[in-house]
Amino acid sequence: MPSRVAGTGSYLPQRIVTNDELARRVATSDEWIRTRTGICQRHVAAPDERTSDLALGAATGALAAASLKPADVDLIIVATTTPDIVFPSTACILQAKLGAAGGPAFDVQAVCSGFVYALAIADRMVSGGLARNALVVGAEIYSHILDWEDRSTCVLFGDGAGAVVLVPSDEPGILSAHLHADGNYKDILCVPGQVKNGRVAGIPFVRMDGSAVFKFAVKVLAEVAHEALTANRRTTADIDWLIPHQANIRIMDATAKKLGVPLSRVVSTVDKHANTSAASIPLALDAGVRDGRIREGQHVMLVGVGGGFTWGSVYLRW
Ligand code: ACO
């Protein structure tokens, strides 16, 4: 039986950090950040907030939108690069906080493509009968892995969580998923640190080759959207809403231009959220659903790209 999205939800930490506030900490400016990235502000988690807390807020919203209770959930997948702890998984911690014990729960680590990967896996598990009501969450606290003295990275990211509930459906909702990775590009975006012998070894902060990431992202986001359209015998005219990973407005605009999708059909939240990695696509999806832009019967193209490098698409009918 095919699966469809029955509800979406979001959670953003209360504290907002503006570009001007960052400009008081490092040598940057609101003008530089806005023109290079489209980012105006980002949310930052409180010191006692964990990724699973953000995930809980988004999951609660998605379950309410789907008119389901935590006890109805029989699969939880959390896409995150910033888990609460080394193990158990943030999905298991979320499951306990929700009160939804019993079904499988696990994390997916595909960095900014994590949500697309997780949604593809959940779709196959629901359509294959392994689960009925699946909760798929993208949740991140990037503020924990940023070097706040490095202006080239600290201005780009934010914290947040987005979630969807997938259920079986007579009519197909998820139409296709295509996933890719190329580990040869592992060094252009990474956090090259590890927990070893009781301490952190290596660098526990985001390191990035900005221009290499930019070129790679635009190339594969457009390619993977085309791959999905070809597989579904559709054209770009059949994308009512394009929701790319919200890394940077210039990457998103260049992708839309390459695809021939007008900017008016791109859902963008990067101005308010910055890059929230695995949370960015579900946060934008929830924004588009809640403000009424995404309507029943429309076609939505989700395209993700992130460290690894990883990339992928999920094409769906709302
Ligand atoms: N404020 C002011 N100046 C800065 C800042 C800052 N925050 N950061 C870098 N600069 C300086 C640099 O030091 C450099 O100075 P120099 O010329 O004296 O050496 C100058 O600005 C220009 O730097 P560039 O890197 O050439 O600037 P560019 O226009 O390429 O923009 C950016 C940099 C925004 C990082 C760009 O490369 C980009 O968008 N890359 C994509 C990276 C991205 O979005 N990553 C997110 C994660 S990736 C993902 O999610 C898949």
- Minimal CA–CA distance to 278: which of 160, 152, 187, 126? 160
**Predicted pLDDT at 135:** 98
Whose C-alpha lies nearest to ligand 1, atom 33?
210
**Predicted pLDDT at 1:** 84
Per-residue pLDDT of the chain (318 residues; tens, 9 = 90+): 899 999 999 999 999 999 999 999 999 999 999 999 999 999 999 999 999 999 999 999 999 999 999 999 999 999 999 999 999 999 999 999 999 999 999 999 999 999 999 999 999 999 999 999 999 999 999 999 999 999 999 999 999 999 999 999 998 899 999 999 999 999 999 999 999 999 999 999 999 999 999 999 999 999 999 999 999 999 999 999 999 999 999 999 999 999 999 999 999 999 999 999 999 999 999 999 999 999 999 999 999 999 999 999 999 999
Mutate to test the pocket of ligand 1, among 211, 215, 246, 251 (most ligand atoms within 8 A of CB): 211
Whose C-alpha lies nearest to ligand 1, atom 25?
210
**Predicted pLDDT at 207:** 97
pTM: predicted TM-score of the whole model, two decimal places: 0.96
Rounded distance between C-alpha atoms, residue 80 and residue 279, angstroms: 8
**Predicted pLDDT at 172:** 86
- Tell me, using a 6 A CB cutoff, whether residue 247 lines ligand 1: yes
How far apart are the CA of 315 and the centre of ligand 1, in A? 31
**Predicted pLDDT at 316:** 97
Of 178, 245, 273, 299, which one is the catalytic site residue? 245
